[in-house]
Amino acid sequence: MQFASMSVDQIQQGLKAGDFSAVEVAESSIARVQAADAAVHAFLEVTPELALEAARKVDQAIAAGNLSQCGPLAGVPVAFKDNMNLKGTHTTCSSRMLESYVSPYTATCVERVLQAGALPLGKLNMDEFAFGSTTESSAFGPTCNPWDLGRVPGGSSGGSAAAVAAGMATVTLGSDTGGSIRQPGSFCGVVAVKPTYGVVSRYGVVAFGSSLDQVGPFARNVRDAAVTLNALAGRDPLDCTSQNVTTDFTANLEQGVEGMRIGVVPEFMDAEGLSAEVKDKINEALGKLEAMGAQLVEVELPNVHSAISAYYVIAPCEAFSNLARFDSVRYGYCEPGHKDLGGQYENSRSGGFGEEARRRIMLGSYLLSAGVYEKYYYPAQQVRTLITRDYQRAYEKVDCILAPAAPRTAFKFGEISEPAEMYLSDMYTISINIAGNGGMSMPIGLGAETGMPVGAQLITPAFKDQNMLRVAAALEQVYGEAPVAPAFANGKVGE
């Protein structure tokens, strides 16, 4: 049985009915990863012992007649982006800097998913320290897009998106600072949710941009994502920015969109760089929502065009500060051959960090230096306020905005090498992190030109994440659940 291609509901029903055991799910899912990941390279570490240990607990609870006590993700195969600590596993952030780092503790987001009964299959590939949009900057080699192995899966949570798209896990977790959940979700054709900043604890997730980072789930259907979000959400005393969220994210998935006001943003739809095939699919999705009774309302976001510029000031500054801890003394790679402490820092940081990480560190260091700070960092924060207000004004008129998740479908490896061009692949996602709103990518079929998945991005006011999930569930009625990529369907392994 292809357990990792099943939904949360299907797995739980099978367990309840005694059709299979959680240990069978764990064993078969690990074997599936070992077979299919040769082609995809989504996993950096596979954790059979942990999966089996969790599975045995689920089976014991079932034997004692307590499946309900195992939690809402009991027996569900999951995996985590490699910037999330899971005690006893490597947490490398796909960097040489942390190649030999073993987590002494577990991140809250990981802990909550495991508390809910999930079976941890392992850790997933990403762009180094989550800098990037393709996973090409991983020090351990890129992940391939299961829909076309010659194309990128997106990034930085490329491994998380690809693992779900290739039927290697039912649910995975990723993190999103400027688009790193939604953009790979759209490239790999899976449901990908970046909750409102503060819904999920960041404790134990290696920080990139602390005011922007947020953890969220990937799944092949909206309900699985919502169930996972229920497990993830809520106050954590270990992250002072986490909020006391008690929303049931599954509550209104069946309500439909009748009477909902969906925002359409001309600045997004007419932007230069939006490919015709993505635009066509987005317009089609808008039409479907209208046909289901939603009202389409045009809203303006006049400052949103400055989001990328503001982000590439704020994010590198925060990254520079967060990455200072990797000094080769307390943490990280230590390059031999230095003469003194200064030399140790210099050699180790030059040798441990890849090109994009070094670029961001240097940029952040420059932007925060005296004289420069006032010129860039301060205005970037002012732009941040303007963009946040733009969204607040728009939400006086609409319940949810629909936009592309990315300007085009997944591109071929090596096709984009210019950093500035790469940065544009997040042109639709970055402003949402800047404003702190919730956003998600929902698969709406394949582009007419490339035949690759297209994602519609749904954006909601802060702490109204249930709105976007409700619209996504309506789109799912039309477009169906996200399929496993054809070359990996029914147990195939990518040949």
Q: Which residues are catalytic?
A: 81, 156, 180
Q: Is 133 in the site for ligand GLN (CB under 6 A)?
A: yes
Cα–Cα distance, 277 to 337 (Å, whole number):
53
Among 37, 59, 136, 176, binds ligand GLN (CB under 6 A): 176
- Cβ neighbours of residue 43 closer than 8 Å, sequence gap 6 or more: 33, 37, 79, 121, 122, 123, 124, 125, 159, 163, 168
> Does 236 contact ligand GLN by CB under 6 A?
no
Burial tier of 319 (Cβ tally within 10 Å: 0-12, 13-18, 19+): buried
Instruction: State yes or no: residue 208 binds ligand GLN (CB under 6 A).
Output: yes
Which 268-327 residues touch ligand GLN, going by CB under 6 A? 315
Number of residues located near ligand GLN, criterion CB under 6 A: 13
Q: Which is nearer to ligand GLN, 135 or 348 (CB)?
A: 135
Which C-beta is closer to ligand GLN: that of 379 or that of 419? 419
Cα–Cα nearest to 208, from 113, 99, 318, 283: 318
Least gap, CB of 213 to ligand GLN (angstroms): 7
**Residue found by looking up tokens 């180094």 in the block:** 128
In this chain, which of 131, 268, 411, 488 binds ligand GLN, going by CB under 6 A? 131
Nearest residue to the partner ligand GLN, using Cβ: 180
Q: Output the smallest distance, CB 83 to ligand GLN, in A.
A: 9
Residue 130 makes contact with ligand GLN by CB under 6 A: yes
Phi (first) and psi of residue 250, to 5 degrees:
-90, -5
Long-range contacts at 390-394 (CB < 8 A, ≥ 24 apart): 390/300, 390/301, 390/302, 390/303, 390/304, 390/435, 391/301, 391/431, 391/435, 391/437, 391/459, 391/461, 392/461, 393/299, 394/263, 394/265, 394/299, 394/300, 394/301
Q: Which is nearer to ligand GLN, 167 or 217 (CB)?
A: 217
Residue 135 binding ligand GLN, by CB under 6 A: no
Output 62 or 192, the one with its CB closest to ligand GLN.
192
The region that residue 490 occupies, defined by phi over 0 for left and psi between -120 and 50 for alpha, beta otherwise, is left
Interaction mask 395-434, ligand GLN, x per CB under 6 A: -------------------------------x--------
DSSP state of 417: -
Selected range binding ligand GLN among 62-70, 127-135, 262-270, 475-483, rule: CB under 6 A: 127-135
The residue ranges that bind ligand GLN (CB under 6 A) are 130-133, 156, 176-180, 208, 315, 426
